């Protein structure tokens, strides 16, 4: 299982863009919806090489714990995705979880991961 460390949004982040592209803004909206639907700690959404999107919320069961980003990536892979073109996480934390970050990197070494607050405000973009 991937390491559970965190990546500070500020330290390995690119400058926050003034505005997200329409496609990346959609990912933030989907992540916010997934999070709000069940009152989860975080929500995430990814876009695959064909433009399909997958949204998920964090899962915490006695036998299984997944970050929202891990679950969104797993859903994409289960649907046949081989590459990611975009990713976003909505969280109350000021860091991007290491396990989710690693899952994204398994499919794309160069895709920026946008991190947003629950209200949709962009906190940063992790590019490494």
Residue-wise pLDDT tens digits, 64-108: 999 999 999 999 999 999 999 999 999 988 788 899 999 999 999
The first and second tokens of residue 9, run together, are 């949004």
Is the pLDDT reported for residue 2 higher than 50?
A: no
CATH code of the domain occupying 6-126: 3.40.140.10
User: How do the domains of the chain map onto residue ranges?
Assistant: 6-126
What is residue 94's predicted lDDT score, i.e. its pLDDT? 77
Q: Euclidean distance between the first and final Cα of the chain, in Å?
A: 20
The first and second tokens of residue 89, run together, are 């996480």
If one compares 26 and 19, the residue with the highest pLDDT of the two is 26
**Interatomic CA distance for residues 7 and 111, integer angstroms:** 15
Q: Which residues contact 16 (CB under 8 A, 6 or more apart)?
A: 122, 123, 124, 125
pTM above 0.75, yes or no: yes
What is residue 51's predicted lDDT score, i.e. its pLDDT? 97
The first and second tokens of residue 84, run together, are 């990611």
């Amino acid at each position: 299982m991937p390491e559970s460390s965190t990546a500070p949004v500020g330290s390995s982040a690119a400058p926050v863009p003034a505005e997200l592209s329409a496609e990346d803004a959609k990912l933030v909206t989907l992540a916010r919806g997934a999070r709000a639907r069940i009152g989860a700690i975080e929500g995430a959404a990814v876009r695959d090489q064909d433009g399909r999107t997958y949204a998920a919320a964090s899962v915490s069961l006695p036998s299984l714990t997944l970050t929202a980003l891990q679950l969104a990536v797993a859903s994409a892979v289960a649907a046949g995705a081989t590459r990611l073109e975009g990713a976003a996480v909505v969280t109350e934390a000021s860091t991007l979880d290491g396990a989710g970050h690693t899952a994204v990197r398994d499919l794309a070494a160069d895709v920026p991961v946008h991190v947003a607050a629950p209200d949709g405000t962009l906190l940063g973009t992790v590019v490494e």
